[in-house]
């Protein structure tokens, strides 16, 4: 289907001065194609540039063995799953509070990250392994 343009019509087009697609008004049309536009934002007059077609979305190829995080034995997700299975879901998890002291091996329930296990203590910080990966948190 061919698009029909006419003088005075509003179109969305890229504007070099504004730096993006903005609303323009067509000033002149030649052989059914807009020739000059005026930007509704900055009021600059420039040639019509057709919008670039969207590039096709390319999805990277993933080997079948790497599709599930648990299939990679060294991943943090796999480590978390193993810990969870070994200790039956952290049945004795404490709610996370900055004022609470967590030791290595303790389970915590974080309001954003969920269930996690303390892997290492560094002064007033602890590295905790959650389902989403390792996070460093403050601990008394």
Predicted confidence (pLDDT) per residue in 75-131, tens digit: 777 777 677 666 655 467 888 988 989 999 888 888 888 888 899 998 999 999 888
Number of domains in the chain: 2
Report the candidate in 112, 124, 117 with the shortest Cα–Cα distance to residue 80: 117
Return the structure tokens found at 30.
């030649």
Task: Specify whether 81 is located in the same domain as 130.
Answer: yes
Q: Which domain holds residue 111?
A: 73-138
Task: Specify whether 35 is located in the same domain as 80.
Answer: no
State the pLDDT confidence band at 52, using cuts at 50, 70 and 90.
Answer: low
Predicted confidence (pLDDT) per residue in 57-73, tens digit: 776 676 655 555 544 55
Nearest-angstrom CA–CA distance, 127 and 111: 16
């Amino acid at each position: 289907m061919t698009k029909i343009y006419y003088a005075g019509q509003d179109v969305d087009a890229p504007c070099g001065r504004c730096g993006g697609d903005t609303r323009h008004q067509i000033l002149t049309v030649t052989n059914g194609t807009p020739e000059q536009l005026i930007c509704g934002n900055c009021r600059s007059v420039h040639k019509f540039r057709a919008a670039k077609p969207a590039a096709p979305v390319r999805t990277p190829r993933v080997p079948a063995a790497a599709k599930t995080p648990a299939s990679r034995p060294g991943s943090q997700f796999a480590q978390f799953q193993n810990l969870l299975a070994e200790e039956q879901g952290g049945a004795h998890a404490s709610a996370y509070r900055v004022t609470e002291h967590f030791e290595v091996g303790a389970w915590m329930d974080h309001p954003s990250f969920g269930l996690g296990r303390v892997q290492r203590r560094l002064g007033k910080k602890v590295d905790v392994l959650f389902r989403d990966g390792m996070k460093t948190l403050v601990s008394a």
